[in-house]
Amino acid sequence: MNVIHVLSELPTTKEVINLTTAISQPGKKHIFHTKKITPEIKDHYQRAFSNHKHFFHADGEVNTVFDAIDKVGAEKPIRIMSYPSQVSGLQHDVKKTHGGINISVIPLPHDKEKPKTVKDFHPSIKLVDTKKMLGESFEIGDYVTNGEVEGEILHIHTRYATVISEGIEYRMWTKDLEISENHPKRNQLYKESFIYKGYKTKNFNRTISESFKDIANREDDEYAVLECVKVFDYILGINDKNIVENFKTVRIQIERLKRYSKKIGASYLTENFVCAVEEELLKCAIVENLKFSTTDRNMIAKVIAMVAGVSINSIDPTNTINQAAIKIRTEQLTPQGWQLVGRLFNVATNAGIKFNKDTFSTSIQQSMGLI
């Protein structure tokens, strides 16, 4: 597997995090850069990753990701790391230009909702280099003014910052900025309704609203966009009580959200919420003995891994559950605890996941009621 990532921006917090993600992927890494990446900026990257186990390297300059594909060649499958908003379009373009090559497009982290500061960086990135990337005086989330416009720092670069004020983004020189005393009553990054075809959302934040504005501008299927907006707004507003009281409704709405978000290329926005709600649905179904479709094996494996407290290192649900079983067998559970865990593993069995039951002793298997 070849992993392609193209550096095309100044070294912002987000770009460094994206590069960390790219070089941590399995397979041979090909890190290209565009002509906009100056020697000084490249030096920042090299120093930032000098202690990283993969070590930073670059394969040279390219104009587009398609040039990078041509340089890498087609002997092995290719995985392209791309911004979430570009995944759908890039998949379409790659299929046209390189249809005979096994290429997958993977979204990079999209973490506007939780802006990172110097302290949140990968431990291998040197603090002094990180400060140079972010600027000495300001951090993402600071409320600043240039004397004319007040707003919150959305991105910060070596010499300028992107500031958002009442939904509008401005690019300002950092030398002209100072911390404003007039802090907003609400966090501008987090709260904003989105109005589409007369429907006004109640639970969207600024990031989701802005993303759906972009989707609405490029998507021709207006009905699919509207339905996706409505059902996503509903899902964002539910809680544990809603799930218990409206189990069937929530389950139906989750399936509709998956269908419509996939249709309009918004899965990267909804998938984390879908997974979280599906996990709650499954746990609720197990505890309350409710009827629930067990066709999503990956989701079942995620729930079991979460209960066991193990990280999900495999896309194979069988491997995930086997890792969870190894961890759980060392736990000191009550008889009721083993019964509840046994229900989880029986759901996996009913879903067709064949895991190693012999990880547990015979007596524990009996306590769990494994089928």
Quote the mean pLDDT of the chain.
76
DSSP annotation of 176 reads G
**Exposed / middle / buried, residue 156 (Cβ in 10 Å: 0-12, 13-18, 19+):** buried
pLDDT one digit per residue (tens) for the chain, 371 residues: 666 777 665 555 566 667 767 766 777 777 777 766 666 666 666 665 554 444 455 667 777 888 888 888 877 888 888 877 778 888 888 888 888 888 888 887 654 444 444 444 444 444 334 434 444 457 777 778 888 888 878 777 767 888 877 667 788 888 888 877 665 544 444 557 788 888 988 878 777 888 899 899 889 999 999 999 999 988 887 876 677 788 888 888 998 999 999 999 998 888 888 877 887 787 777 666 655 555 567 778 887 887 787 877 677 888 888 988 998 888 888 888 888 888 888 888 887 888 888 899 888 888 888 87
CATH class, 2-107 region:
alpha beta
Which one-letter amino acid corresponds to residue 197? K
Q: Residues near 92 by Cβ (< 8 Å), separated by ≥ 6? A: none
**How many residues appear in the chain?**
371
Q: Give the largest Cα separation in the chain, rounded.
A: 73
pLDDT attached to residue 89: 81
**C-alpha count within 13 angstroms, C-beta hemisphere, residue 13:** 25
Parallel/antiparallel/unpaired status of strands 78-82 and 2-7 = parallel
**Tokens standing for residue 347:** 């759901």
Q: How far is CA 202 from CA 71, 216, 237, 276, in A?
A: 47, 18, 8, 20
Nearest 5°: phi and psi at 214?
A: -65, -45
Give buried/exposed letters for 119-140 (b at 16+ CB in 10 A, else e).
eebbeebeeebbebbbbeebbb
Torsion (CA) 64, 66, 68, 71 in degrees, nearest 10? -130
pLDDT tens-digit series, residues 252-303:
899 899 999 999 999 888 888 887 788 778 777 766 665 555 556 777 888 7
Residue 211, token pair as written in the block: 């993303």
Q: Which residues are registered as beta bridge partners of 162?
A: 155, 171
Where do you find CATH 3.40.50 in the chain?
Answer: 2-107
State residue 248's pLDDT score.
Answer: 84
Q: 183 - beta bridge partners? A: none
Q: CATH 2.30.30 in the chain, residues?
A: 118-179
Q: How far apart are CA 237 and CA 229, in angstroms?
A: 12
For residues 173, 176, 177, 180, the Cα torsion angle rounded to the nearest 10 degrees is -150
Q: Whole-angstrom Cα distance, residue 219 to residue 225?
A: 8
Half-sphere exposure in the Cβ direction for 185 (13 Å, CA)? 0
Contact 7, 15 (CB under 8 A): yes
- Starting at the earlier edge strand, list the strands of the sheet with 2-7: 28-33, 2-7, 78-82, 103-107
311 residue type, one letter: S
User: What CATH number should be reported for the domain whose range is 118-179?
Assistant: 2.30.30
How far is it, in rounded angstroms, from Cα 330 to Cα 326? 7
**pLDDT value, residue 204:** 82
